[in-house]
Amino acid sequence: MRRGELILLPLAAVLVLAGAWQLAVMATGTTIFPSPGDVARGLGELAGRGILWSYIGDSLVRVVSGYLAAVIIGIPFGMALGWFPILERIVNPIIQLLRPISPLAWMPLAVIWFGVSNTAPIFLIFLAAFFPIVVASMNAVHNIPPMYLQAGRNFGLSTPRLMAKVIVPATFPPILVSLRIAFGIAWLVLVAAEMIAVDSGLGYLIIDARNAGKRYDLVVGGMLLIGVVGLMIDALFRWGTRTLMRREVTE
């Protein structure tokens, strides 16, 4: 496909979908489910009241805080597990036990621990991102080709130097991939995380619009916003990964 088609065709698909949506609303004569125009007007109303951008901002702050905490704690923790077999033997069963528990199941506990505050949803988002990052970092260390470590020892590198010159660069690509995946998961948990304890954000918008006045135009609008913002952040990740990895992408 030519460059123009690469942009135009997906755009056309979106328009077709919106058209089908409009027709379906008209054909069924529903008064509950909003048409694309209703959603656009709803979002316009939010923008007019000045809460659209502040909601997006609040959600981003929460997701980024929880996610960054998971990155900062998860990467060194996971790498340490990968490096010290004894530590892994002791801690890994606990991780494997906690990992399949949905972050949403922690909601009641988060409320007891953190009460009505920003901390509760940030904690849930942290949990969502933490386990994938830990497991990926651990595996990244396991998967370092043994000859890289052997070469490092052969050339007489001290452990800190081996860490800086071999272990970190060797584990960087797989960890980077996991960071993108973990952000996707964190973003997925946003709605649920904002169902508790807070009164702003895109997750709250959806819950509040449904509970307060059955404003389904705002429910759908909130969903679309989550989709669009998530897409934009993922594009940012892809761009960052490409830029950082340009020199050594696998053959």
Closer residue to other proteins in complex, CB, 121/152 = 152
Indicate the SS3 state at residue 218: helix
Distance CA 205, CA 223 (A): 9
Helical segments of 115-193, H only? 119-142, 146-154, 159-162, 168-193
Q: How far is the CB of 183 from other proteins (least distance, A)?
A: 23
Residue span binding other proteins (CB under 8 A) among the ranges 11-19, 77-85, 152-160, 231-239 = 152-160
Q: Does 153 sit near other proteins (CB under 8 A)?
A: yes
Give the HSE-up count for residue 199: Cα atoms under 13 Å, Cβ half-sphere: 2
145 near other proteins, rule: CB under 8 A: yes
As measured in angstroms, the least distance from the Cβ of 170 to other proteins is: 8
Q: Cα angle at 58 between 56 and 59, to 5 degrees?
A: 65
Distance CA 131, CA 244 (A): 24
Rounded to a whole number of angstroms, the minimum distance from the CB of residue 247 to other proteins is 5
One-letter amino acid identity for 245? Answer: M
Residue type for 87, please?
Answer: L
Instruction: Check residue 166 for interaction with other proteins (CB under 8 A).
Output: yes
148 is a contact residue toward other proteins (CB under 8 A): yes
Q: Is 242 in the site for other proteins (CB under 8 A)?
A: no
| Residue 179 beta carbon to other proteins: minimum distance, rounded to whole angstroms | 17
Which residues sit at the interface with other proteins, rule CB under 8 A?
A: 145, 147-148, 150-151, 153-157, 161, 165-166, 169-170, 172, 247-251
